[in-house]
Copies of this chain bind each other. A is one copy, B any other.
C-alpha cells in the first residue's frame, strides 16, 4: 500500500524485450499527443504487446511517464559522464554540459516538451527514479562549478548553487520557445549564445588586473 511510485516492478529485468518495445511506443506516441491523451490500448497496439504487460512494467499511468523518462535520462546522464571524461578545466566541462543539454533538447523534443512544460502537473514525478537522476545531474553540474571556483576559473562572489540556477535557467530560456513552437535551431549556435551570457556573468575576468 501507500504512495509507492517505484515505476518498474521489481520482478522484471530492466531491459526485457517487452519493456523496450513499450518504452519505444510511448516515446513515439508522446510525439503525437499529450501524455493524458495516450491510452494503454494505443501503447499496446503500437508496441505489439498486451495491455496487461505494460501494466506489469509500469504500475500506473503516472508511473508510465516517469518510467519512460527514467529510461531516457539514465541513458543521457551515462552518456554525459562518458563525454566529460576527456575534458579538462571547469569552463570547458561546463561548456560541454551545456552543449549536451541543448543538444538533448534539440534531438529529443518530445521529452524536452514534457520536461519544460508538462512535468509541473505531475507531483508524483518528484518521487520517481527519474527525478533522482535529474538530481544526480544537478550534482554533476554543481561539482563542476565548485571545481571552477576552487581553481579560480569561476567567480567566488556568487554561490555555486546560484550559478547552477543561472546555467539551467539560461538553457531553458533559450530552448523553450524554440521547442514549443517547433522551430529548428543549431545546437552549436545556441550553446554559443548561452555560454556567452553565462560565462560573461560568472567568469573571473583575468585581464582586468
Contact surface of A with B, Cβ cutoff 8 Å: 33-34, 36-37, 116-117, 121, 172-173, 176-177, 180
Residue from the list B37, B117, B177 in contact with A36, Cβ < 8 A: B37
| Besides A116-B180, A117-B180, 12 other A-B contacts (C-beta < 8 A) | A33-B121, A34-B36, A34-B121, A36-B36, A36-B37, A117-B117, A172-B177, A173-B177, A176-B176, A176-B177, A176-B180, A177-B177
Residue numbers in B under 8 Å from A172 (CB-CB): 177
- Copies of this subunit: 4
Chain B residues contacting A116 (CB-CB under 8 Å) are 180
9 pairs, A vs B, C-beta closer than 8 Å: A34-B121, A36-B36, A36-B37, A116-B180, A117-B117, A117-B180, A173-B177, A176-B180, A177-B177
| Bound Cα distance A33, B121 (Å) | 8
Q: Chain B: which residue is nearest A50 at the CB level? A: B11
Distance to closest chain B CB from A206 (angstroms): 33
Residues on B with beta carbons closer than 8 Å to the beta carbon of A176: 176-177, 180
Report Cα–Cα, A177/B172, bound state, in Å.
Answer: 9
